[in-house]
C-alpha cells in the first residue's frame, strides 16, 4: 500500500508515476481522493477548534463556580455538552473517511522505482545481460510435451483427475522434478544463506491482504471451502485460500512484528506447490506445462533494512541465476518496464530461460523489490538506530519455478533417440542416473 502522506504531500508526482503503469485509469479516483482529503482536513480543523474551545470552557466553568455564578456555569456546561455531541459526530465521520481512504489505497499499485524503464507492456522490457549459448541440434527439436510424454508426463490423466492445466508425472520424470526442487533448496540454503521453511498451503485472507493479492486479485485465487459444524456455513472471515506462491506465508512471518535492527536481513526459502486460477489467461500457453493451475516453486524472500533493499534485489537475482548456470541452461535477465511489472513491485527482474522447442526465451523467475508497499499493509517494522519504528522492505523471487525448469531441462537436454540426459548437478539426486530413457 502506498504511503498516504506521500499522496498528500505530492499527489501530482505520484499520479504521474502511476500513469506509466498499465491501465492507470483503474488505479486511483483522484477526484474522490481529493474530496475525502478535503473533508478530512475540514473535520480535523473543526475538531481541534472544538477541543480547544471545550478546554477553555472547562477552565471557565471552574472560575464561574468559584465566583458562585451558577447560572453562567450552567450555560457554559450546556456549550460543553453541545461540543461533545459534535466531537463524537466528527470522530465517527473521520473514522469512516479513514476506512474509505484505506479501501481506495488497497487497489492502488506500487510506484515504479526511478530506474525502471518506462513502457506500455512487455515490449518495453530491457535486456540487462545474457548467459550461455543456445545449443544447436543435429536432429529436429521437439518441445517438452513430445519429449516428456514418453518419459512419464501425463496430461490426459491431469485432465481426468482435475481438469485442464493440471499435469500428472510418473516414473523418471517425477523423480527428475523432485530432484530439481531438492537441488534448488540445497543451493539456496547451503550457498546463499536462506533458512528453509515448511509453510501451510492454505492461508487466511489477512495473509493475502498483507502481500497484496487481496482484495484486488481474488479472481486469481482458489478458495478452500471448509465445512462448518452441524452443517453450518463457515463465515467469510474464516475462509482459507490456496497459496499462489509461498511468498505469501513467508512474508507474513513478520506481520504485526517489530524487529530489532540486528535481526535484519531475514532470508527465507520454501518449496511448495502454488495454485493459480490464471484468470484472464485463457487461450494462452494451453499446450504443456508453461501455464498451470498447480505448479511447484522454490521461493526466496528477504526482509531487509530500507537502505539495503536494492543491493538485496541484485543479490537475489544472482541467487536465481546460479541455479540456471549450474544446470547449464542459457538465459537472459530482463528489467521489466512500468507497464509489465506486478502490482506490488517497485522494480522487477525477470529471468528468461532458452527453450529450443519454442525457439524463444520464456520467463522462469521473477525477482522483485516491493520496498515498503507490503510492509505498510503488514505493519512489519524494525526499531531503527534512533529508537523509532520504521517499515522494513520486502523482496521476493523464484529460485526457481520447478515445473518450468523441468521444461527447460527436457528441451535443452533432449537426444535424438527420445532420451534426456540428466544434468550433472542433478545426478546425485537421481541415484547416479545419467539418462532418462522412454
Q: What range defines the domain where residue 48 resides?
A: 4-107
Q: What is the pLDDT of residues 228-277, one digit of tens each?
A: 555 566 565 578 999 999 999 999 999 999 999 999 999 999 999 999 99
Annotated catalytic residue within 366, 376, 390, 411: 366
The cell for 378 is 503488514
Q: Is 58 annotated as a binding residue?
A: no
Residue that is last in its domain, among 75, 107, 139: 107
Annotated catalytic residue within 100, 196, 218, 363: 363
Q: Is 278 annotated as a binding residue?
A: yes
Does 48 qualify as catalytic in the annotation? Answer: no
Q: What is the mean pLDDT of residues 282-311?
A: 92
Backbone angles phi, psi at 215, to 5 degrees: -90, -10
Q: What is the pLDDT of residues 313-329, one digit of tens each?
A: 999 999 999 999 999 99
289 with 143, same domain: the answer is yes
Q: From CA 417, how far away is CA 207, in angstroms rounded?
A: 48
Q: What is the pLDDT of residue 323?
A: 98
Annotated catalytic residue within 54, 175, 276, 376: 276
Does 21 qualify as catalytic in the annotation? Answer: no
Q: Is 74 annotated as a binding residue?
A: no
Q: Is 366 annotated as a binding residue?
A: yes
128 with 33, same domain: the answer is no
CATH number at residue 96: 1.10.287
DSSP result, 9-33: H-HHHHHHHHTTSSSGGGT--HHHH
Q: What is the mean pLDDT of residues 48-71?
A: 73
Q: Is 412 annotated as a binding residue?
A: no
Residue that is last in its domain, among 81, 107, 133: 107
71 with 127, same domain: the answer is no
Structural domain contains residue 112:
no
Residue that is last in its domain, among 62, 81, 107: 107
Structural domain contains residue 141:
yes
pTM for the model stands at 0.91
Q: What is the pLDDT of residue 50?
A: 80
Does 291 qualify as catalytic in the annotation? Answer: yes
Q: Which residues contact 117 (CB under 8 A, 6 or more apart)?
A: 124, 125, 126, 335, 337, 338
Q: How confident is the model at residue 47 (pLDDT cuts 50, 70, 90)?
A: confident
Does 352 qualify as catalytic in the annotation? Answer: no
Q: From CA 51, how far away is CA 69, in angstroms rounded?
A: 24
Annotated catalytic residue within 178, 291, 362, 427: 291
202 with 164, same domain: the answer is yes
Q: How confident is the model at residue 51 (pLDDT cuts 50, 70, 90)?
A: confident
The number of distinct structural domains making up the chain is 2
Q: Is 181 annotated as a binding residue?
A: no
Q: What is the pLDDT of residue 84?
A: 83
Q: Is 290 annotated as a binding residue?
A: no
**C-alpha atoms less than 13 angstroms from C-alpha of 69 in its C-beta half-sphere:** 11
Q: What is the pLDDT of residues 126-173, one digit of tens each?
A: 999 999 999 999 999 999 999 999 999 999 999 999 999 999 999 999
The DSSP H or E segment spanning 247 is helix 247-251
Does 366 qualify as catalytic in the annotation? Answer: yes
Mean per-residue pLDDT over the chain, rounded: 92
Amino acid at each position: 500500500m502506498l504511503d498516504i502522506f506521500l499522496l498528500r504531500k505530492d499527489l501530482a508526482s505520484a499520479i504521474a508515476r502511476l500513469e506509466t503503469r498499465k491501465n492507470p485509469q483503474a488505479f486511483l479516483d483522484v477526484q474522490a481522493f481529493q474530496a475525502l482529503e478535503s473533508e478530512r482536513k475540514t473535520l480535523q480543523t473543526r475538531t481541534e477548534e472544538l477541543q480547544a474551545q471545550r478546554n477553555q470552557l472547562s477552565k471557565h466553568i471552574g472560575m464561574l463556580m468559584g465566583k458562585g455564578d451558577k447560572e453562567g456555569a450552567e450555560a457554559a456546561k450546556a456549550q460543553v455538552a453541545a461540543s461533545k455531541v459534535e466531537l463524537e459526530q466528527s470522530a465517527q465521520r473521520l473514522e469512516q473517511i479513514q476506512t474509505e481512504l484505506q479501501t481506495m489505497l488497497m487497489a492502488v499499485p506500487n510506484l515504479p522505482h526511478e530506474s525502471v524503464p518506462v513502457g506500455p507492456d512487455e515490449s518495453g522490457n530491457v535486456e540487462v545481460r545474457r548467459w550461455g549459448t543456445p545449443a544447436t541440434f543435429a536432429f529436429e527439436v521437439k518441445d517438452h510435451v513430445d519429449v516428456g510424454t514418453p518419459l512419464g508426463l501425463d496430461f490426459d490423466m491431469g485432465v481426468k483427475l482435475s481438469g485442464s492445466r493440471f499435469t500428472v508425472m510418473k516414473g523418471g520424470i517425477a523423480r527428475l522434478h523432485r530432484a530439481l526442487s531438492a537441488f534448488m533448496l540445497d543451493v539456496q540454503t547451503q550457498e546463499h544463506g536462506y533458512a528453509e521453511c515448511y509453510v501451510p498451503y492454505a492461508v487466511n485472507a489477512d495473509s493475502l491482504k498483507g502481500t497484496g493479492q487481496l482484495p484486488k486479485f481474488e479472481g486469481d485465487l482458489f478458495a478452500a471451502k471448509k465445512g462448518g459444524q452441524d452443517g453450518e456455513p463457515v463465515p467469510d472471515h474464516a475462509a482459507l485460500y490456496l497459496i499462489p506462491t509461498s511468498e505469501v506465508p513467508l512474508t507474513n512471518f513478520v506481520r504485526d512484528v517489530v524487529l530489532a535492527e540486528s535481526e535484519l536481513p531475514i532470508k527465507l526459502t520454501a518449496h511448495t506447490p502454488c495454485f493459480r486460477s490464471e484468470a484472464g489467461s485463457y487461450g494462452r500457453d494451453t499446450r504443456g506445462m508453461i501455464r498451470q493451475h498447480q505448479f511447484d516453486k522454490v521461493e526466496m524472500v528477504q526482509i531487509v533494512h530500507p537502505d539495503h533493499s536494492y543491493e538485496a534485489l541484485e543479490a537475489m537475482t544472482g541467487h536465481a541465476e546460479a541455479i540456471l548456470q549450474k544446470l547449464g541452461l542459457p538465459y537472459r535477465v530482463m528489467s521489466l518496464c512500468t507497464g509489465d511489472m506486478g502490482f506490488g513491485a517497485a522494480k522487477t527482474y525477470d529471468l528468461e530461460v532458452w527453450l529450443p522447442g519454442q525457439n524463444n526465451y520464456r520467463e522462469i523467475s521473477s525477482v522483485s523489490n516491493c520496498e515498503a508497499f507490503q510492509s505498510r499493509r503488514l505493519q512489519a517494522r524494525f526499531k531503527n538506530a534512533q529508537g523509532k519504528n520504521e517499515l522494513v522492505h520486502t523482496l521476493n523471487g523464484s529460485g526457481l519455478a520447478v515445473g518450468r525448469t523441468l521444461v527447460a531441462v527436457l528441451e535443452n537436454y533432449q537426444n535424438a533417440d527420445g532420451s534426456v540426459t540428466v544434468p550433472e548437478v542433478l545426478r546425485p539426486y537421481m541415484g547416479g542416473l545419467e539418462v532418462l530413457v522412454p
